[in-house]
Amino acid sequence: MPHKNNLVRPALTVLLLLFPFVFPLSASPGSQDQPTLPPQMQASREHPLALTKASSSIKIDGVLDDAAWEQAARIDVAYEWTPGENTPPPVKTEVLVTFDESAFYFAYRSFDPEPQAIRAHLMDRDDTDSLIQDDHISFAIDTFNDERRAFEFRVNPLGVQADAVFSEQDGSEDFSWDAIWKSAGRIEEFGYTIEVAIPFNQLRFASGGGVQTWGFEAERSYPRSVRHRISTHPRDRNRMCIICQFNKITGLQGISPGINLQITPTLTVNRTDTRSGLLGGGMKAGDVDTEPGVTARWGLTPNLTLNAAVNPDFSQVEADVAQLDVNTRFALYYPEKRPFFLEAADFFMTPMQAVFTRSVADPQWGGKITGKIGRGAVGFFAAQDRINNLIFPSNQGSWSTSLDQDVTSGVFRYRHDIGKGSTLGGIYAGRVGGDYYNHAGGVDGFFQLGDKNQVVFQFLHSETRYPDALAAEQGQPFGKFGGNAILAQYIHSSRNLFYYAAYQSVSPDIRADSGYMPRVDTKMIDLETDVMFFGVRAGGKTGKWFDQLRFWVRAYRVDDFSGQLTDSRVALGASYQGPLQSQVAILGRWNQEYYAGTLYDTSDVLAQAIVKPAGGMSFTLLVNAAKAIDYANARPAFALRGGPDTSLALGRHFNLGVSYYLERMAHEANRIYTAHLLQGRLIYNLNTRCFFRVIAQFQDVGRDPGMYSFPVPSSSRDLFTQFLFSYKINPQTVLFLGYSDNSFGSRGIDLVRADRTFFLKIGYAWVM
């Protein structure tokens, strides 16, 4: 499946340009050390795999006994691309591909010399953290054959599904995208088999009745001591692009999405009870809030989709990952999880986050149109929101508020394909309500310069007006004001070397209220270079003692618009990947940070280790020791942070996850506070559609009031718990039944439940 090494964020500095002379680099693909590829596979892109229409119906049950499979096109998964480098794989895998008028069909025969060692567990769909630890297959299809965007599908031997959209432009795999499709798997004596059917009405592809050619990749993940990733085509590590290396399939004709209309009515019912005082009083029952809604999706054409909703279902049953909100300066970021906004979310991505849909809090209605017309990708959405959520950014921090007023949001995005792999786009994002408005717009570009180089830029301008009372209360400019943001990046990526350089300027008065821009008044230069070494393995045999070694150095500097240095860093890092799917990274960072009129030394050391010794087992440990800033009291401090994170599969049905995070801050050896964050999750998966889940998030903060210049409690504790029953026939046909509560207290006062919520959601998708 599409993959980009993202262990460290890109950046560039001149220092490691010397590395090639100190450490001779391994031979690049094409040298005498590069494996010679079979001629038929070398020519697979020039000579696409020809598909034939299914000769009979196919039942998706994991048993490959349908007559249609006998005439289906076949391709072998013949290249291990990691940790090996286009070497023969340790196991054999066959892929069968066919289609009919309404669906695309795939079948896998995955052979295994030790079938008893196959890793397969039940889990919720799109639980990718667990899925990637299992044996599984995956495939990706570039339906427009433009080498910019691909639909991904993954299935484990028990039929558990995951799906995503991969964007070549930013290397992202967006697993929040959901399609309605069928899969089934069976573990056999020789290994396992998988069958998949993808209805064409779940995809987007060029309209017209002629023969279509699509980009295609099939892959198998074979995790043992190392995770072998095996593909139907070789991968050249000297090429930045991924989709451009896909196989091609052709012969697709007479295919149709049908009426391509999906209507999903939902009913959400909840009741929240609250306690008026934590030290006394009972729980007061709240009103029952019943929210019926309906969402419709209509494929206007095979490549253009309209979404509309009245009182749309934006309910969220997954608890946000807990984050410590102690001694922080900027607004916390939580990812989008609501289905309406996740449809074609990658269409609205820009280098700077001009669109952040969680700023739309409680909409009355929403509408969206997305698709591809010729060489242009277009996206538009609008929503009427009952609440106006605002972030007020600055160089030194950000804070937020919510206005109880209706606000109308609208976003328009257009991106045009240029040449092979390049794009030029524009975006507008605006919000209007009463005597408030915010309009932001600009242009951006992504240019692929050969196989190894990319240039990215974006310019954004905003015009904003706050109500006078709000401006006075929050210390914001009165009347209309505007600002600009500019970003330029250069990236070079080859087999052994990675360079990055960026410049970003964000003026004090720019606001992106439809996006996420918590810091302004900055001018930044960011540079980094990386050197990588690979321990190539042949087949399943052990090669070198490592799979990959990576060394990097990064330097950046941030000034405000007055010329004051506000942040700087020089960082040296190294990482290791080896047996037991182990990863170790160590960083030393020499930092400076300006706060409240003083430039502080905030240098630190960070280490992280990850090991996955067996199926369903993952252990992570993070440790960070840092010179820091006590923001509450504006003084230097020392901070110790970190903790373990563990996930375990207890048999095939139970999944357990436990994490603990500690943050301790002191000034001149005197403790200021100690914060503990403990999270636990226990899931019982009845089958691929149904699970029971319990989540608990506990936070305990102990303070020394004598170390503060203002009154603070000596301790505070809070506990969040959630119980959920989930039944999913598909991502939209669902039943959720849940309960959650919040409790607060301190070390001198027992935890007291402050509120509780009962929750029911029913949704049913009619697909026509």
Residue 541: other Cβ atoms inside 10 A: 9
**SS3 of 417-467:** EECCCEEEEEEEEEEEECCEEEEEEEEEEEEEECCCEEEEEEEEEEEEECC
Question: Quick one: pLDDT at residue 209?
Answer: 72
Q: Taking all residues of the chain, what is their mean pLDDT, rounded to a whole number?
A: 87
Contact by Cβ (8 Å): 243, 166: yes
Q: Which amino acid would we find at residue 430?
A: G
Q: What is the mean predicted confidence (pLDDT) over 477-503?
A: 96
How many independent structural domains does the chain possess?
1
Query: Is residue 104 in some structural domain?
Result: yes
Is the pLDDT confidence value at 5 over 60?
A: no
**In this model, does residue 218 exceed pLDDT 90?**
yes
- Going by pLDDT thresholds of 50, 70 and 90, the confidence category of residue 540 is very low
- How much is the pLDDT for 316? 56
**DSSP per-residue letters across 507-519:** -TT---TTS---B
pLDDT at residue 111 in the model: 97
Strands (E), 332-435: 363-373, 376-385, 388-393, 398-403, 407-418, 422-433
What pLDDT digit, counting tens, does each position of 120-154 carry? Answer: 999 999 998 899 999 999 999 999 999 999 999 99
d(CA 26, CA 532): 9
Percent of the chain with pLDDT over 90: 66
Q: Which domain holds residue 22?
A: 16-252
What integer pLDDT is reported at residue 362 of this predicted model? 78
Tell me the C-alpha distance between 347 and 107, whole Å: 30
Least confident of 355-369, 528-542, 549-563: 528-542
Residue 212 to residue 249: CA distance in whole angstroms: 8
pLDDT for 24 equals: 35
What is the chain's length? 768
User: What is the reported pLDDT for 674?
Assistant: 97
pLDDT confidence of residue 443: 97
Question: By the 8 A CB rule, do 139 and 153 touch?
Answer: yes
* Percent of the chain that is helix, strand, coil (3-state, to 5): 5, 55, 40
For residue 509, tell me if it sits in a domain.
no
In 654-678, which positions are buried (b, 16+ CB within 10 angstroms) versus exposed (e)? ebebebebbbbbbbeeeebbbbbbb
- Domain contains 759: no
Residue 176 lies in a domain: yes
pLDDT digits (tens, 9 = 90+) for 629-639: 999 999 999 99
Residue 98 falls inside a structural domain: yes
- Mean pLDDT confidence for 347-356: 87
Q: What is the pLDDT of residue 114?
A: 94
CATH of the domain at 43: 2.60.40.1190
Residue 338's pLDDT is 67
Residue 687: pLDDT band (50, 70, 90) is very high
Mean pLDDT of the 694-703 span: 95
Q: What is the DSSP letter of 13?
A: -
What pLDDT, in 10s, does the model give residues 397-448?
888 888 888 999 999 999 999 988 899 999 999 999 989 999 999 999 999 9
Instruction: Answer yes or no: is 374 within a domain.
Output: no
Span 156-176, mean pLDDT? 89
Confirm whether 198 is domain-assigned: yes
Q: Is the confidence at residue 29, as pLDDT, over 60? A: no
| Interior angle at CA 227, CA 222 and CA 231, nearest 5 | 60
Report percent pLDDT > 70 for the chain: 88
- Is residue 199 included in any domain, yes or no? yes
Rounded Cα–Cα distance for residues 341 and 355 (Å): 11
Q: Report residue 133: phi and psi, to 5°.
A: -85, -15
Supply the pLDDT for residue 423.
93
The model's pLDDT over 453-465, given as tens digits with 9 standing for 90+, comes to 999 999 999 999 9
* Residue-wise pLDDT tens digits, 723-742: 999 999 998 899 999 999 99
